[in-house]
Structure 1
Amino acid sequence: MKVVTHSGTFHADDVFAFSVLREALGSFDFARTRDAAVIDAADIVFDVGAVYEPGKGRYDHHMRDLPRRSDGTPYSSVGLIWRDYGREALPKLAPGIEDEALDTVWQDIDQEFILAIDQADNGVAPVSSGHLSLLIEAFNPTWNSAQSYDEAFLEAAGFARGILVRACRQAHAEAQALSQVLTAARQAQDPRVIVLDRKLPWEKAVFTGGLQDLLFVVYPNEDLTSWYCRTVPPELGSFGQRLSLPEAWRGLQDAAFSQAAGVEDGVFCHPGGFICGARSRQSALRLAHMAIAAGGTG
């Protein structure tokens, strides 16, 4: 198989598109050129050629009538390649990914990662210092460098692959977390409190899973030496709480907190009233129920 993109200066979209295709297709002959004959003879062409025909493996996006997402956002080459080859690439990028998680992870990467490159490449969103697109462009050779653009492109692609792998594995972990949080919710005796057997990213799962009645999440720390009772925010990313911990507990530690909260092994309660802890699962769970009974007022 022959894959082609343009020669010369590269950007994040063509670099990441190449990385996605490498994972999806394995080895292939690759060329960076603007030679029309080479482009016409290729099996897949992206970011060059002035043709958008996915059925023929043509993925340019620089025409007047350029391809767009359903919301009107113009695609860049990586958006198009991810759309058509991302699901094939995911088993390599996130080894062990379950079939039922493929669409969830693909969508997560598309919206949280690929879309930003599409927007930057097409100039529809601001690109601030440190933006991923600028980091990739920094791999282009300087005017006084002896490195060729093709060598620099492959170096940038290696860097991009590392980022893509981490992003996909993070998205896969979040999908697994969603499954565990929803399982815990189904098993909970009280829909206002769930208990997790390990620390994991639960907040996004709460809102994705529609756990509208949930007030507290109980889970252990990394080394299982203590358990947290954490309030649920009213919306994703918020610093607020659906129900705050009692005022009488806040800012107390150890014996003082234990006495105020009525548990034997209390550890602390944050002054902000959003998290407290105890040495045992049983006590952390009791703290959640006592906070509900108190109504957050103490």
Structure 2
Amino acid sequence: MTVVATHNGTFHADDCFAYAILRAALGDGIELVRTRDLEILDRADVVFDVGGSCDPAEGRYDHHMRDKPLRPNGEPFSSAGLVWRDYGVRAVRALFPTVSDTEAGRVAAMLDCGLIRDVDLMDNGAMTPTPGHFSTVLEAFNPSFAEPDSDENAAFAEAAHLAGRVLSRAVARALAAVLAEETVAQAAAVTPDPRVVVLETRVPWEDAVFDLNLTQVLYVVRPAGKQWTVSAVPPERTSFAQRHPLPAAWGGLRDDDLARLTGVADATFCHPARFVCGAKSRDGAVALARLAVES
């Protein structure tokens, strides 16, 4: 049994997440103690957000010292970020056992730049708190003065459970992004025309195109329910423009009208804004993409 310890009293998002991370990484074989008793803390295997020291070799992850632990960019850690730094990859692998070492490392890094970093900044007063921020939501689980009979440890457990569910979903989404990038990279490597990438599954491609620096890609073909779509790639991430819009004559046409104009018998639609069109089959969508490239 691994004993992990943090302070009692009012809790914040960082200690909730630190515990959720340890639960994910170490499984059910841990025992949580919430106390400020130094003798008890000294006996614990892992101590976070309390204790006055940051010594990963000794399992100590406090960040309240005068000499605060900082990220390489100068941003401050909280206990969540410190624990994630040592246990993040292990937590990812425990949540998704089939991931490779490389994938687990990339997922851990993505969360450290996003969810975990935000928790760290909020806890250190380096981010403006808002009612809807997840850190604020977690801290609302603290019993209020109007609830004098509330069980503080039960409230912490409830908040940490929610943090754990959010952590699991954040890992799942980051892993999906990593796997999507691998899929896009493989498709781009075998395409006969670098301007058209064909994906055999409906994976998200937008970030991958830019992360992989696929500057020649104009259109991405992929399945969408019972049909296939051709999406025009924007010139930059999050832009609503297109590197090469679909032909002007196609805009707003549907079914027979589009089929007659293009010669693609199963063409189904072209959006008036000319950023996406579709066909009933893979071959039809690829044919539309090739026509669009040459337009």
What secondary structure is seen at the aligned counterpart in 1 of 2:221? Answer: strand
Is it true that 1:172 corresponds to 2:175 in the alignment? yes
Give the match for residue 35 of structure 1: 37
Instruction: Please point out which of 197, 201, 204 is paired with 1:201.
Output: 204
Which residue of structure 2 lines up, in the alignment, with residue 238 of structure 1? 239
- Deviations 1:154-196 (Å, cap 9, x if unpaired)? 1111111111111111111111111111110111000110101
Where does 1:1-298 land on structure 2 (aligned, <5 Å)? 1-26=2-27, 27-145=29-147, 146-222=149-225, 225-294=226-295
C-alpha distance in 2 between matches for 1:94 and 1:167: 12
List gaps (5 residues or longer) in structure 2: none
Tell me, in whole angstroms, the C-alpha distance in 2 between the residues paired with 1:125 and 1:187: 45
Using the alignment, how far apart are the partners of 2:210 and 2:144 within structure 1? Answer: 46
- Secondary structure of the corresponding residue to residue 97 of structure 1: coil
Q: Structure 2 counterpart of 1:119, which letter?
A: L
Are 1:93 and 1:164, in contact at CA under 8 Å, matched by a contact in 2? no
Q: Do 1:265 and 1:279's aligned partners in 2 also have CA atoms closer than 8 Å?
A: yes
The letter for the 1-side match of 2:92 is L
Check conservation: 1:182, 1:209, Cα contact below 8 A.
Answer: yes
**2:43 and 2:289 mapped to 1: Cα distance?**
66
1:143, 1:248 → 2: CA distance? 66
2: CA distance between counterparts of 1:58 and 1:100?
A: 27
Taking the aligned partners of 1:181 and 1:33, their CA distance within structure 2 comes to 49
RMSD: 1.3
Change (3 A) 1:127 1:239: farther
Aligned residues: 292
How far does residue 9 in structure 1 lie from its aligned partner after superposition? Answer: 0.9
Deviation at 1:94, TM superposition (A): 2.4
Q: TM-score, normalised by structure 2?
A: 0.95
- 1: CA distance between counterparts of 2:128 and 2:192? 47
CA distance in 2 between counterparts of 1:220 and 1:29 reads 47
Which is worse superposed, 172-181 or 253-262?
Answer: 253-262
Asked whether the 8 Å contact 1:94–1:165 carries over to 2, the reply is no
CA distance in 1, matches of 2:129, 2:290: 46
1:141·1:147 contact (CA, 8 Å) conserved in 2? yes
Cα distance, 1:100 vs. partner? 2.8
CA contact (8 A) 1:258 1:265 kept: yes
